[in-house]
Amino acid sequence: MIEVEIYAPGLRKESAMMQLRNQMDHFPRVRYKVDARHDLVYFEIDRSGDISQEEIHQIFEAIELAPRFVGQIPAELVNLAAEA
């Protein structure tokens, strides 16, 4: 399992939360939890290939937020972005 934590300033706005939910509908295999108080999203990804680093960026950019990975980006996500 791959775990990723994203800091997205502005996420706590209700409209951003609803838009995130809509964006995540496109990735049914990816589980996520939101810590709205701290503008954080925790992703749990079962298999490499379910989502890429680029797709994570696109999710947040679609709702006009600037995502920042917290900690080291897992190699499985980096390799997917390099192959694309």
Amino acid making up residue 41: V
Question: Residue 74: its pLDDT value, please?
Answer: 86
**pTM for the complete prediction?**
0.84
Q: In CATH, what number does 2-83 get?
A: 3.30.70.100
Residue whose entry in the numeric block shows the structure tokens 């925790």: 42
Please list the ranges in the chain whose pLDDT falls under 70. Answer: 79-84
Environment class of 55 (CB within 10 Å of its CB; exposed 0-12, middle 13-18, buried 19+):
middle
Q: What is the pLDDT of residue 82?
A: 46
As a whole number of angstroms, the distance between CA 71 and CA 60 comes to 18
